[in-house]
Amino acid sequence: MNELKYDEELEKAAKKQKHTCFIYGVEEIIKNEMYSTHDAAYHPRATKVACIEYYCSNSKSNMKFFVIDKGPGGEKTGEPGSKYPSGRSKEADSGLCVVSSGFGVSKNIVLAVLIVVLNFI
């Protein structure tokens, strides 16, 4: 599983897409590109996350949820850390697959954002 980094471009793209208002479920927004959710979404190849707010007419309220990029392919089997894609390596503390250059949003910020979003659900 990859470390997720907040992506403002993914947020902008997600805001432009039409969403349905599932109460607990995962919605595929654009085939092979994005998932959104009100509960939880996991895709083993995802590397980006964004949070959006969307008005749901069926509940007559704004819903907050997060969107992830799906990334190419599906799950890989094997020992954890044995199949990192090119340009990625194992992060020592978390064991997550990270971009080797190491730049981007801190995992602590992403975790804080996800906690805040989940508290609004």
Q: Which residues of 76-103 are buried (b: 16+ CB within 10 A; e: fewer)?
A: eeeeeeeeeeeebeebeeeeebbbeeee
For the question of whether the overall pTM of this predicted structure is more than 0.85, the answer is no
- Asked if residue 32 has pLDDT above 70, the reply is no
Q: Give the tens place of pLDDT for each residue, 7-18.
A: 898 888 888 877
pLDDT one-digit tens code per residue, 50-108: 888 888 777 788 877 777 776 666 666 777 666 666 667 677 677 677 766 544 444 44
